[in-house]
C-alpha cells in the first residue's frame, strides 16, 4: 500500500509542476495562446481550469502524503530486556578475553 501511495505522490507532484509552469502570474501563459474568438474554451475558462487543477492537485498531494505516512512499513522492535541482556553478556565476555590477551603479552 505504501508503494501505491508513493507512486501516486510522484505522479501528482509531476502534474502539479507542469500545471504551475503552464500558468503565468499575470494571466498570460497557456491562456494567452487561446485568445482567439473561435475557441470553445475562452481565456477566462482556461485560467479557471488551471487554477482548479492546481488546487485539486495540491490537495491530492497533501492527502497522499498523509496516507503514505500512515502506511509506512515498520520493523518489529526487539524488547529492551533482550537488548540489555545481550549487551551485558557481551560486556562480561570482553574483559575475560582481554585479560587472556594481556597475560599472553606479558610473557
pLDDT tens per residue, range 10-39: 999 999 999 988 887 665 556 555 555 444
How far CA 27 is from CA of 4, 33, 34, in Å, comes to 36, 11, 12
| Residue 58 binned pLDDT confidence (cut-offs 50, 70, 90) | very high
Identify whether the C-beta of residue 22 lies closer than 8 Å to the C-beta of residue 29: yes
pLDDT tens per residue, range 83-104: 666 677 777 766 555 555 555 5
72: cell is 509506512
**Whole-prediction pTM value?**
0.54
Please state the domain extents for the chain: 2-74, 78-107
| C-alpha to C-alpha distance for 83 and 100, rounded to whole angstroms | 26
Amino acid at each position: 500500500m505504501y508503494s501505491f501511495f508513493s507512486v501516486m505522490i510522484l505522479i501528482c507532484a509531476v502534474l502539479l509542476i507542469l500545471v504551475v509552469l503552464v500558468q503565468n502570474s499575470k494571466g498570460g501563459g497557456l491562456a494567452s495562446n487561446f485568445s482567439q474568438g473561435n475557441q470553445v474554451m475562452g481565456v477566462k475558462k482556461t485560467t479557471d481550469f488551471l487554477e482548479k487543477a492546481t488546487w485539486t492537485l495540491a490537495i491530492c498531494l497533501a492527502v497522499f502524503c498523509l496516507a503514505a505516512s500512515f502506511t509506512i512499513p515498520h520493523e518489529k522492535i526487539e524488547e529492551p530486556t533482550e537488548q540489555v541482556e545481550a549487551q551485558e553478556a557481551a560486556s562480561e565476555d570482553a574483559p575475560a578475553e582481554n585479560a587472556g590477551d594481556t597475560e599472553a603479552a606479558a610473557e
